[in-house]
Amino acid sequence: MAVGIFDSGLGGLTVLDAVSKAMPEVPFVYYGDNSHAPYGVRDADDVYNLTTAAVERLWDEGCDLVILACNTASAAALRRMQEAWIPSDKRVLGVFVPLIEALTERQWGDNSPPREVAVEHVALFATPATVRSRAFQRELAFRAIGVDVEAQACGGLVDAIEEGDMILAEALVRSHVDALKRKMPDPQAAILGCTHYPLMQGVFQDALGADVKVYSQADLVAASLEDYLKRHPTMIGSGQTSTFLTTGDPKKVSDHATQFLRREIVFNAA
């Protein structure tokens, strides 16, 4: 009855931590493609090929439902996967949906025309590939009108977090927020559009100011997944064991993961 969680690296651990706390009875198999991280600098075909290979590996682990806890994969690969690749007995879900639902205060299945929402000026912090895809803006436009989204590509931030260099990561966050504010001086809300970024949420909030509502994905994804599994209990696969898999160096990845979650995490070679 395992559910798969995939990320290009360690950022998806923020999602894993949240969903594990929300659903302690469900085994989760985490797959980090650390040897190819970060995805945010890769082109769409490359991201697609790496993502489909990872999802197939999670299917082999008995995970009929896989969460792409990677915004770049969700932005650059998911639509193409859903249109022509995923078999009818499997599901692959991205991390944009819960964010859009929270921002627009409407459920994903609500297909009424786009309408005005409370927030008019939104800052989006994401990887270069996610920004290029414009996937967030596209999905938002289906549901809301009158929302100005200013995107800031946060080059180097994922690399710093993956390497555990939090001093550099903090400096990069403040630099990217400054760059965003030069384009949008007074955002009302900010989207942390990468699952690595919740690890720096306090720095984002401090740099943006207390008046800016910061949307982080982990808890939103956890609540959305819990609701989805209640409505689709058959999508819990046959796997019985929680495990952590990586394409990188298991010892190095385990050490960094343990540092991130402040509990021992042991990765095995994928």
The residues carrying an active-site annotation are 70, 194
Q: How many CB atoms lie within 10 A of CB 201?
A: 17
- 13-22 helix and 250-261 helix, angle to the nearest 10 degrees: 60
Three-state secondary-structure class, residue 268 = strand
- 217-231 helix and 13-22 helix, angle to the nearest 10 degrees: 50
Q: Is residue 239 a contact partner of residue 62, using CB atoms and an 8 Å limit? A: yes
Going across the sheet that includes 148-153, the strands are 148-153, 121-126, 189-192, 213-215
Q: Is residue 70 a contact partner of residue 130, using CB atoms and an 8 Å limit? A: no
Say if residue 186 is exposed, middle or buried (CB neighbours under 10 Å; 0-12, 13-18, 19+).
exposed
- Among the residues of 92-165, which ranges form H helices? 96-104, 128-133, 135-141, 157-162
The closest alpha carbon to 270, from 6, 17, 65, belongs to: 6
Three-state secondary-structure class, residue 123 = strand
Q: How many CB atoms lie within 10 A of CB 87?
A: 8
Residues 6+ apart with CB under 8 A from 56: none
